[in-house]
Structure 1
Amino acid sequence: MKAILLPVLIFWSLHLYADGYRLETVVDDIGVPWGMVWLDNGDMLVSSRSGEMHRINAEGKRTAIEGVPEVHTNNQGGLLDLERHPRYDVNGWLYLSYSSKEGEGKGSHTAIMRAKLDGNRLTDKQVLYKATPNTSSGRHYGSRIAFDREGYLYFSIGDRGDRDNNPQDLTRDGGKIYRLTDRGEVPNDNPFVDKEGAMPAIYSWGHRNPQGMAMHPLSGDIWIHEHGPRGGDEVNLIKAGANYGWPILSYGINYGGSEFAEAETREGYESPVHYWDPSIAPSGMTFITSERYPEWRGDLIVGSLKFRYLVFCEVAGDRIMSTQILFEDIGRVRTVKEGPDGYLYVATEDNGIIRIVPEES
């Protein structure tokens, strides 16, 4: 496994008010929105952490979706991410992550389900993965979902607040990125399929709580970001079998101010392509491909829960060269997606879902 030995620089964040763009409210008062996808007719589906799913049409009319799986609304747990199959127009499969009580132990753990939408009801529901064992901890479910160019399904499960046991143990769920086929099967070339005792769905390990995931539109690589402790939020490029070091390595410290990590980088472990200190509490990310934002194409947008803004990340190859702050105080950003109309949509916990529109539109 090749380590990244070059130091990762922290770039000063410059305030950018995005002259030439305005914000439009698509829908307000939607609780804690977590995932957004669009149906072929242009309607938007939004998952809310409280366990509700909404269908929103072009006029902003909201319809409740029935048949949503039972979720354990437990602090950070609930109905979480939402993604559509790359060939949704052919097969109609939707994918969702949520905190499920099913299985061994008290409490809940992250589950991945696929289902179809018949009118306003989820049908044909199939659980593809259920992490074990359950825990009463309400932290670090992870739960972001993305597909790669070959149609493989990636998802994150956080360390569930048990950093000393889960992230560095391949026999345990938690603190990992997972990879399955779209039907929930383990690919034969997953890195740990032949390792005795290892969870075969694991693709990478040593993660804390990844709540952002996106495929790079040119390379096809899967990028994630994950929450650090006090400081040390990371952006990582995911590689098969790679160990990202948590909690052995970290740029952060304990919330109480004490140090715990052995180092920041080390040979044999993957270093982040970027990190934030102080933490921004990142949530949601998307690469920009739309012609509506020509000066941003190919770059990355990340949401901040803590500071209630977006972060523009200038990307060159597999590195982040600089960051800039966009649209301060728009609310606790939970996710950001590029819609089929080419606009950027931002889901916030305070101000609903917002669309970024060029002034001339």
Structure 2
Amino acid sequence: MLKHLLPAGLCCLLLGWSLPAPAQVENSELGELTLEVLVGGLEHPWGLAFLPDGQGSLISERPGRLRWLDGQGRLSAPLRGVPAVFAQGQGGLLDVALSPDFARDRLVYLSYAESDASGERAGTAVGRGRLSDDQLALEGFAVIFRQQPKLSTGIHFGSRLVFDRQGLLFITLGENGQRAAAQQLDKLQGKLVRLHADGRIPADNPFAARAGTRGEIWSYGHRNAQGAALNPWSGQLWLHEHGPRGGDEINIPLAGRNYGWPLATHGVNYSFLPIPEARGERVAGTEPPHHVWEKSPALSGMAFYSAERFPAWRHNLFIGALAGQALIRLQLDGDRVVHEERLLAERGWRIRDVRQGPDGYLYLLTDEADGKLLRLGLRQP
């Protein structure tokens, strides 16, 4: 196993990466932040999952690699057994999540862009495989879900993976750039889907028994949700999604509800022209956003802070910003967003994923050709 792992600093030297930076200090409204660059040289990292018992973490890279960062900071070679991906545009290997029963079954779930037979169109797929005992391979990888039909030429795949308290799997699905499909219940574009851990459709899904609809659907009218997390206090799933030019939003999706896209939006096309199908910011029969940004930060990744380590962060929600190049801190009062702060705004980093670590620190991935894993803390008074 050791030949597959190198200390992070030695990896950097051998592969031409820059060495991890020492801890730095930045200011925030709640006090001084401590910032460490743990690993560099990751190629457009997308998702992060922590293994139990100090075994490190798994990091996905969009070109199609899954890496193990062990508990001593050594980065593995790409794991074997990872599926081939459609690595074009926004597509590739995307999110990574552990089975709720990982201690027993060692199953790792991956979401990724998968091409059709022609190689020209793609959609989101989700599969799972057993992490080998040496953490260097996925064994018996099998697909449990495919977005159908395949309509993307390289944009809007979603695709965050979240298990709820009952062990059911939520998957966020972009509309593949096909706006009208987000309102069509016979298609899986622009939907949030809910499945059993093996891919079966729960009998109580809102459209499971309705003819002409996809039983996987939990909610619809979503544009491109690249952040989702379970609220640790209420147990409800929250997600955020990209608007077009303006109108990024947070939603708390309820069963069978329509979240509006493209009929209801606070944004316009990138050309500054109106969205052709849009009828306004609020439209009868659709749910208004729980929270909205009139100017799009381009949201990605989401983590509620519930740890004891930094009490000032408790009941805050942290979200990455790609175009906004910042970490957004939202202060919550119950479910209400009462305050916003932008952190790391001078760094110029596109924040792709945000996770609360088992040690109570925040861990961030930067979406760059020389992507980084960062650890963020708050100095105690």
Q: TM-score, normalised by structure 1?
A: 0.92
User: Out of 357, 361, 376, which is 1:339 matched to?
Assistant: 357
1:139 aligns with 2:155: yes
Deviations 1:179-217 (A, max 9, x none): 001111100000001111101000000000000000000
Structure 1 counterpart of 2:258: 243
Which residue matches 1:45?
58
Q: What's the secondary structure of 1:340's corresponding residue?
A: coil
Corresponding residue SS for 2:42? coil
Corresponding position: 1:258 with 2:278: no
* SS, match of residue 167 in structure 1: helix
User: Contact (CA 8 Å) 1:178, 1:204: kept in 2 or not?
Assistant: yes
Q: Distance in 2 between matches of 1:265 and 1:360?
A: 43
Structure 1 gaps, min length 5: 1-14
Q: 1:116 matched to which residue of 2?
A: 130
Q: What is the CA–CA distance in structure 1 between the aligned matches of 2:326 and 2:111, rounded to whole Å?
A: 25
Amino acid at match of 1:79: L
1:86 is aligned with what amino acid? P
Which whole-Å CA distance do the structure 2 matches of 1:321 and 1:226 have between them?
A: 20
**Superposed counterparts of 1:51-90, under 5 Å:** 51-63=64-76, 64-90=78-104
Structure 1 position 357, deviation (Å): 2.4
Against the structure 1 CA distance between its residues 103 and 220, is the aligned structure 2 distance closer, same or farther, given a 3 Å change threshold? farther
Q: Is the 8 A contact 2:130 2:138 kept in 1?
A: yes
State which drifts further: 224-233 or 100-109: 100-109
Instruction: Show the counterpart of 2:182.
Output: 167
CA distance in 1, matches of 2:81, 2:326: 34
Q: Which has the higher contact order (CA 8 A, sep 6+)?
A: 1
Q: Aligned AA for 1:84?
A: L
Q: Between Structure 1 and Structure 2, which shows a larger proportion of helix residues?
A: 2
Is the 2:85–2:114 contact (alpha carbons within 8 Å) kept by the matching residues of 1? yes
Aligned to 1:324: 341
Matching residue within 257, 274, 283 for 2:291: 274
Q: Equivalences for 1:129-208 in 2 at 5 Å? A: 129-164=145-180, 166-208=181-223
Aligned partners of 2:310 and 2:380 also within 8 Å: no
Residue in 2 that maps onto 1:5: none
Instruction: Give aligned-pair identity as a percent.
Output: 39
- Counterpart of 2:158 in structure 1: which amino acid? G
Q: Which amino acid aligns with 1:153?
A: L
Which range moved further: 39-48 or 171-180?
Answer: 39-48
Distance in 2 of aligned mates of 1:17 and 1:31 = 32
Deviation of residue 115 (structure 1)? 1.1
Partner SS state of residue 179, structure 2: coil
| Residue among 209, 229, 232 paired with 2:247 | 232
The one-character-per-residue Cα deviations of 1:324-360 (angstroms, maximum 9, x if unpaired) are 1112134100000011122110000245010012336
Match of 2:86, SS state, is coil
**Mapped contact 2:152–2:176 kept (Cα < 8 A):** no
Rate the CA distance shift 1:104–1:133 in 2: closer, same or farther, 3 A.
Answer: farther
1:120-146 residue CA offsets vs partner (Å, 9 max, x unmatched): 110121211111222351110001110
Q: What RMSD in Å do the two structures reach over aligned CA positions?
A: 1.7
Matched residues in 1 for 2:189 and 2:156: separation?
A: 9
Deviation (angstroms), 1:104: 8.2
Match of 2:236 among 215, 221, 229: 221
Structure 2 gaps, min length 5 = 1-26
Partner residue of 1:7? none
Q: Is contact 1:104-1:132 (8 Å) kept?
A: no
Partner of 2:5: none
SS at match of 1:50: coil
Give how far 1:67 is off. Answer: 1.0
CA gap of 1:87–1:360, structure 2 versus 1, over 3 A, is same
Select the residue among 19, 25, 29 that pairs with 2:41.
Answer: 29
* 2:140 counterpart of 1:127: no
Q: Aligned equivalents of 1:34 and 1:276: distance in 2?
A: 23
Q: Is 40-49 or 240-249 further displaced after alignment?
A: 40-49
Q: 2:18 aligns to what?
A: none
Using a 3 Å threshold, how does the CA distance of structure 1 residues 102 and 89 change in structure 2: closer, same or farther? farther
For normalisation by structure 2, the TM-score amounts to 0.87
Q: Secondary structure at the match of 2:183?
A: coil
Q: For the residues of structure 1 that align with 2:32 and 2:152, how far apart are their CA atoms?
A: 47
Q: CA deviation at 1:154?
A: 0.0
Runs of 4+ in 1 over 3 A off after TM superposition: 15-18, 102-106, 358-361
Residue by residue over 1:242-262, the C-alpha shift from the partner in whole angstroms, topping out at 9 and shown as x without a partner, is: 100000000001111112221
Are residues 359 and 121 of structure 1, via their aligned partners in 2, closer, same or farther at CA, if it must alter by over 3 Å?
A: same
Quote the offset at 1:316 in angstroms: 2.1
Equivalent in the alignment of 2:31:
19
